[in-house]
A = this chain, B = another copy of it.
C-alpha cells in the first residue's frame, strides 16, 4: 500500500455545531460518528471533526496556537460557475468569505472561505486537474 492520507481531522470548538455546518454544505455523515467525533465521507477521503483540545491531547501536544495554520483543504469543482455557486453557499451557511472567486494566475478560478473555527478551504476550478465523480483528482497518464 503506497503512502496515503485516509483521514483529515479538524480540531473544532464545538463538534455538534461544526457538524451541522458541514452537513448543511452537503458533506455526508458516516454512521460511525459519535458525539465526540464526526466522520464525513468527503469524496475519497474522510473528514473528521474532533474537539480541538481532544485532538491536541490525542497527539500529546499542547493545544495553544494562533494565526495561520499552514494547511488548507481544496474542494475542486468542474467549472467557474460551480465555484461561484459553492462560495455563495458556504458564505450563506456561515463560512467567512476570505477571498472572493476570481481568475488565478495559474489559469484556474479560485476562492477561499473559512469554517467556523477558521480552517481555510479553497474552492476552485483547475482546468488542468480533471476530476472523478466523487471530486477526487484523476491521475495524469
How far apart are A29's CB and chain B's nearest CB, in angstroms? 11
A28 touches B8 (CB 8 A): no
A107 within 8 A of B: no
Q: Do A75 and B4 touch across chains, with their CB atoms under 8 A apart?
A: yes
**Residue count of chain A within 8 Å CB distance of chain B:** 71
Q: Does the CB pair B10–A120 fall under 8 Å? A: no
Chain A, residues 1-20, CB within 8 Å of chain B (1/0): the string is 11111111111100000000
Does B69 lie within 8 Å of A120, measured CB to CB?
Answer: no
CB-defined contacts of A47 to chain B, threshold 8 Å = 5
7 A-B pairs with C-beta separation under 8 A: A2-B27, A3-B26, A5-B75, A8-B73, A10-B71, A65-B70, A69-B71
Q: A residues engaging B (CB < 8 A)?
A: 1-12, 22, 25-28, 30-32, 40-48, 52, 55-56, 58-78, 98-99, 110, 112, 117, 119-120, 122, 128-129, 131, 133-137, 139-140
Extra contacts, 13 of them, besides A1-B77, A4-B136, A9-B73 (Cβ < 8 A), are A2-B27, A3-B28, A4-B75, A5-B8, A5-B42, A5-B135, A6-B76, A6-B135, A8-B72, A30-B140, A48-B74, A52-B70, A60-B112
